[in-house]
C-alpha cells in the first residue's frame, strides 16, 4: 500500500458509503480515464468482469468466434466461453511475446476462406508483463476487416506505445487491480471505452440490469460486477503511487538486465522482453528467456528449482491457452513461438517492495547457479 489508502477508507466509513457505488467509485473512474486517456472508465469487481462485459458490449454470443492471444492468463479467454463463443488462439511474435500480427492476418484469411469471417466478433490482444503488443499492425488488420479490438491491458497500466496508453487503442480496454497487479484494490478491474453508450450499458449490466422503475424491472440479464466504494478508495490511494510503482518495477528490470549482461560475458545468453523505441513497458514482471542450447544445457526448470532451494520463488511464463487441457481442440494459428517462450521463460522476483537485501540474496543464488 502507498500510505493514503486508509484515509480514503475512513472517509467512506465516516460518510457511510459502504456499497458498490459512491464518491470514491466516481473519482477513481475519473482518474483512471484521465490516466489512460479514455473518456470513460467503469470500475468493476475484477479484470475478468471487464473482459466479460466488454465482450457483451461487442455483441459476442453463442456460436461466435473471438480471436485471442494464446500466450496469456486464462482470464483473457474464459469470458469468451462464458458467452457461448469459441476462442481462436493466435501465436506470439518473439519481440514483444504478444499477439503475432502475421499469424493474426493468416487466421483471418483462413476464416474468410472458410466463410466464417462474419462470426468473428472481436480480437483480444494482451500486453504481457506490461510490454505493449504491436498495436499499430494489429489495429490495421482489425480495421481492414472491421473487427473490433478488446485490449487486455490487465498487466499494462502505465505502459505506452507511440506515447499512447495501453488500454486506449481498441474499442474497449480492460484493466485489473487484482492483488498481484502493479496497483491493487485488493480485487478489482475497469473497462475503458471512448463510447458513452458502452460505458452506460456496462454500468447498467454490472449492477443487475435494473430498469428505470419504482419496483425491480428487468429487460436484460444482469451481473453483480460493480466495484465497491471501499475498494475504489484503495484504488484512489494507489493511483497516487502508480508512477512510483512503475519506476520501481522498471528499476527491478534494469538490475536484472545489468546482472545478466555480466553473466552473458561468461558464455551464457540470457534474453529479455525488449522494448523498441516506440514502446514503454511498466515492467510489471521481470522475465528472462533461457535457451538450453545457448546456456550450457541449463533449462529454466533447473534455474527455477535451484532458486526454490533457497525459498526464492520464480515462475514459468504463462502457459499458452492452446496447450491448456480445458481448451483442447480449439482452433490455433501460428507456429511454436508461444510454446518456446513457455519452455524457456522465467518470471523473476519482481515485487514493488523488493529490497536491497532481497536483491543481494537473489543475485547471490543466481551467481551460484550460473557458475559464480
Ligand atoms: C490478471 C489478469 C486478468 C484478470 O484480471 P482479474 O482482476 O484477476 O480478474 C486478465 N488478463 C490478464 C492478462 C491478467 O494478467
Mutate to test the pocket of ligand 1, among 42, 43, 47 (most ligand atoms within 8 A of CB): 47
Q: How far is the CA of 220 from the centre of ligand 1 (A)?
A: 26
pLDDT at position 371 is 87
Among 350, 370, 250, 363, residue whose Cα is nearest residue 300: 370
pLDDT of residue 182: 97
Residue 287 has pLDDT above 90, yes or no: yes
What is the position in ligand 1's atom list of the atom closest to the CA of 51?
A: 10
What mean pLDDT is predicted for residues 15-34? 97
Q: Mean of the per-residue pLDDT values for the chain?
A: 97
5-241 CATH, one of 3.90.470.20, 3.40.50.1360, 3.40.50.300, 3.40.640.10: 3.40.640.10
- Alpha carbon distance 179, 156 (integer Å): 14
Question: What mean pLDDT is predicted for residues 62-73?
Answer: 98
CA 335 to chain centre: 22
Q: Specify the residue for cell string 522465467.
A: 346
Give the start-end residues of each E strand in the chain: 40-44, 65-69, 86-90, 120-124, 150-152, 160-161, 164-165, 172-176, 189-193, 270-272, 279-280, 287-290, 315-316, 332-333, 345-347
**Cα 76 to middle of ligand 1, angstroms:** 7
Domain ranges of the chain: 5-241, 243-369
Mean pLDDT (whole number) for 168-179: 98
Res 282 pLDDT > 90: yes
**Which CB contacts under 8 angstroms, 24+ apart, belong to 224-227?**
224/20, 224/45, 225/44, 225/45, 225/46, 225/49, 225/52, 225/53, 226/20, 226/21, 226/25, 226/43, 226/44, 226/45, 227/20, 227/25, 227/28, 227/43, 227/44, 227/45, 227/185, 227/188, 227/189, 227/190
Q: Do 25 and 43 form a contact (C-beta atoms < 8 A)?
A: yes
Instruction: Supply the CATH classification number for the domain 243-369.
Output: 3.90.1150.10
Cα-based distances in Å from 181 to 44, 66, 244: 15, 25, 14
Say yes or no to pLDDT of 162 above 80.
yes
CA-to-CA distance for 328 and 345, rounded, in angstroms?
A: 22
Q: pLDDT at position 303, please? A: 98
Check pLDDT > 90 for residue 13.
Answer: yes
Ligand 1 centroid – CA 74 distance (Å)? 8
**pLDDT tens figures, 223-281:** 999 999 999 999 999 999 999 999 999 999 999 999 999 999 999 999 999 999 999 99
34 grid coordinates: 484521465
173: Cα separation from own chain's centroid: 10
195 CA distance to ligand 1 middle (Å): 23
Of 151, 181, 178, 179, the residue nearest 165 (C-alpha): 151
| pLDDT score of 4 more than 80 | yes
What's the pLDDT score for residue 372? 54
Q: Cα separation of 316 and 294, whole Å?
A: 18
List the residue whose alpha carbon is closest to atom 2 of ligand 1.
154
pLDDT of 292 strictly over 70? yes
Pocket residue to mutate for ligand 1, from 42, 45, 48, 153, most atoms within 8 A of Cβ = 48
Is residue 90 a contact partner of residue 114, using CB atoms and an 8 Å limit? no
CA of 75 to the centre of ligand 1 (A): 6
- In tens, the pLDDT along 308-331 reads 999 999 999 999 999 999 999 999
Ligand 1 proximal residues by C-beta, below 6 Å: 46-48, 72-73, 75-76, 126, 152, 154-155, 176, 178, 189
Amino acid at each position: 500500500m502507498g500510505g493514503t489508502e486508509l484515509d480514503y477508507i475512513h472517509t467512506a466509513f465516516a460518510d457511510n458509503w459502504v456499497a458498490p457505488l459512491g464518491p470514491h467509485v466516481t473519482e477513481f473512474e475519473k482518474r483512471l480515464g484521465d490516466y489512460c486517456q479514455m473518456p470513460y472508465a467503469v470500475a468493476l469487481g475484477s479484470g475478468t468482469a471487464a473482459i466479460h462485459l466488454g465482450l457483451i458490449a461487442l455483441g459476442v454470443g453463442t456460436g461466435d468466434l473471438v480471436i485471442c492471444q494464446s500466450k496469456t492468463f486464462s482470464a483473457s479467454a474464459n469470458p469468451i466461453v462464458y458467452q457461448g463463443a469459441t476462442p481462436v488462439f493466435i501465436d506470439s511474435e518473439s519481440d514483444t511475446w504478444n499477439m503475432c500480427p502475421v499469424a493474426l492476418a493468416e487466421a483471418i484469411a483462413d476464416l474468410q476462406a472458410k466463410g466464417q469471417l462474419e462470426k468473428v466478433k472481436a480480437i483480444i490482444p494482451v500486453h504481457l508483463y506490461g510490454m505493449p503488443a504491436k498495436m499499430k499492425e494489429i489495429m490495421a488488420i482489425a480495421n481492414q476487416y472491421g473487427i473490433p479490438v478488446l485490449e487486455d491491458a490487465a498487466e499494462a497500466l502505465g505502459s505506452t506505445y507511440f506515447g499512447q496508453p495501453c488500454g486506449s487503442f481498441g474499442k474497449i480496454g480492460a484493466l485489473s487491480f487484482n492483488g498481484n497487479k502493479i496497483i491493487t484494490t485488493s480485487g478489482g478491474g475497469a473497462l475503458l471505452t471512448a463510447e458513452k453508450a458502452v460505458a452506460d450499458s456496462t454500468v447498467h449490466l454490472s449492477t443487475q440490469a435494473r430498469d428505470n422503475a419504482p419496483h425491480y424491472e428487468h429487460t436484460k440479464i444482469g451481473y453483480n460486477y460493480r466495484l465497491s466504494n471501499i475498494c475504489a478508495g484503495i484504488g484512489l490511494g494507489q493511483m497516487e503511487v502508480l508512477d512510483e510503482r512503475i519506476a520501481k518495477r522498471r528499476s527491478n528490470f534494469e538490475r536484472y538486465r545489468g546482472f545478466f549482461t555480466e553473466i552473458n560475458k561468461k558464455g551464457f545468453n540470457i534474453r529479455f522482453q525488449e522494448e523498441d523505441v516506440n514502446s514503454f513497458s511498466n515492467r510489471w514482471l521481470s522475465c528472462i528467456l533461457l535457451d538450453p542450447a545457448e546456456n550450457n544445457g541449463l533449462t529454466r526448470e533447473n534455474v527455477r528449482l535451484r532458486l526454490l532451494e533457497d525459498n526464492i520463488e520464480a515462475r514459468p511464463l504463462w502457459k499458452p491457452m492452446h496447450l491448456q487441457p480445458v481448451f483442447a481442440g480449439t482452433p490455433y494459428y501460428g507456429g511454436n513461438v508461444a510454446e518456446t517462450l513457455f519452455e524457456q521463460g522465467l518470471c523473476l522476483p519482481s515485487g514493488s517492495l523488493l529490497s536491497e537485501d532481497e536483491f543481494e540474496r537473489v543475485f547471490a543464488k543466481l551467481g551460484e547457479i550460473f557458475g559464480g
